[in-house]
Amino acid sequence: MSTATPTRPVAIKIDDDMRERVKRLAQARHRTAHWLMREAITQYVEREEKREAFRQDTLKAWEEYRTTGLHASAEEVEAWLASWGSDEEQPAPACPK
C-alpha cells in the first residue's frame, strides 16, 4: 500500500520572461522547470508558515503582557545574554509581579 500523498496539477500564469528565467535556471541546476517551481513553492510556503507562527507567538506574547504586565527590561535581557558562555552565566531574568 502506497503512503504517497496524491498530487494534482495546478496551472499558474507567468510571463515569457519569467518562463525563460526558470528554464535557464533549471538547465543550470540539471533539474526540470517543474521541479524548480515545486521546490520554490515548497520553500516559500515553509518560510511563510514559520513567519506566521512567529507572528502569532508575538501577538500572544503581546496580549499576555497587556493582561499581566509581566516583562523583563531590555537591560536585564542584555545582561543575561552577555553572560552566555561565560563562567558567570546568569539565569534568565525573572518577570517581577
Of 13-17, 43-47, 52-56, 88-92, the least confident: 88-92
- Cell 493582561, located at residue: 67
Note the pLDDT tens digit of each residue in 49-69. 999 999 999 999 999 999 999
- Cell 508558515, located at residue: 49
Measured CA to CA, the distance from residue 70 to residue 97 in angstroms comes to 6
Note the pLDDT tens digit of each residue in 24-52. 999 999 999 999 999 999 999 999 999 99
CA torsion, ordered 61, 64, 68, 71, to nearest 10 deg: 0
What pLDDT does 50 receive? 98
CA angle 54, 59, 65 (to 5 degrees): 125
Q: State pTM to two decimals.
A: 0.71
Residue 77 cell numbers, joined: 535581557
